[in-house]
Amino acid sequence: MTADLIVVAVVVGLGAGWLADVAMKGGGYGLIGDLLLGVGGSMVAGSIFRTLGFAPNGGWMAMVGVAFVGAFVLIYAQRMLWHTHA
């Protein structure tokens, strides 16, 4: 991953984690856990898309889209599969 893609993944992941904490009360790992899940999901999604040959070469908006989708999917999966109580 390039430096700009890592920065976008971290920033978007933090934003997605914060939104998940605000929107989906209960069932998460708290604010810090949701932030980490968001960052992890956005980085994993960026890596998967690049490995599959769908690198987000469309500029910043494409990178933000890929990172947000990855963060959302990971946070949503955590909420649906592992019912924890913060």
Q: Label each residue of 8-68 as H, E or C.
A: HHHHHHHHHHHHHHHHCCCCCCHHHHHHHHHHHHHHHHHHHHHHCCCCCCCCHHHHHHHHH
Taking the domains of the chain in order of start, what are their residue ranges?
Answer: 3-81
The residue among 56 and 39 whose pLDDT is bigger is 39
Q: Which two tokens stand for residue 12?
A: 């978007």
Percentage, residues of the chain above pLDDT 90: 0
Q: In the predicted model, is pLDDT for residue 80 greater than 70?
A: yes
Q: What confidence tens digit (pLDDT) does each residue in 27-45 have?
A: 667 778 878 888 888 888 8
DSSP H or E stretch at residue 74: helix 60-81
Give residue 59's pLDDT.
66
Q: Which two tokens stand for residue 10?
A: 């971290």
Q: Which two tokens stand for residue 74?
A: 């990971």
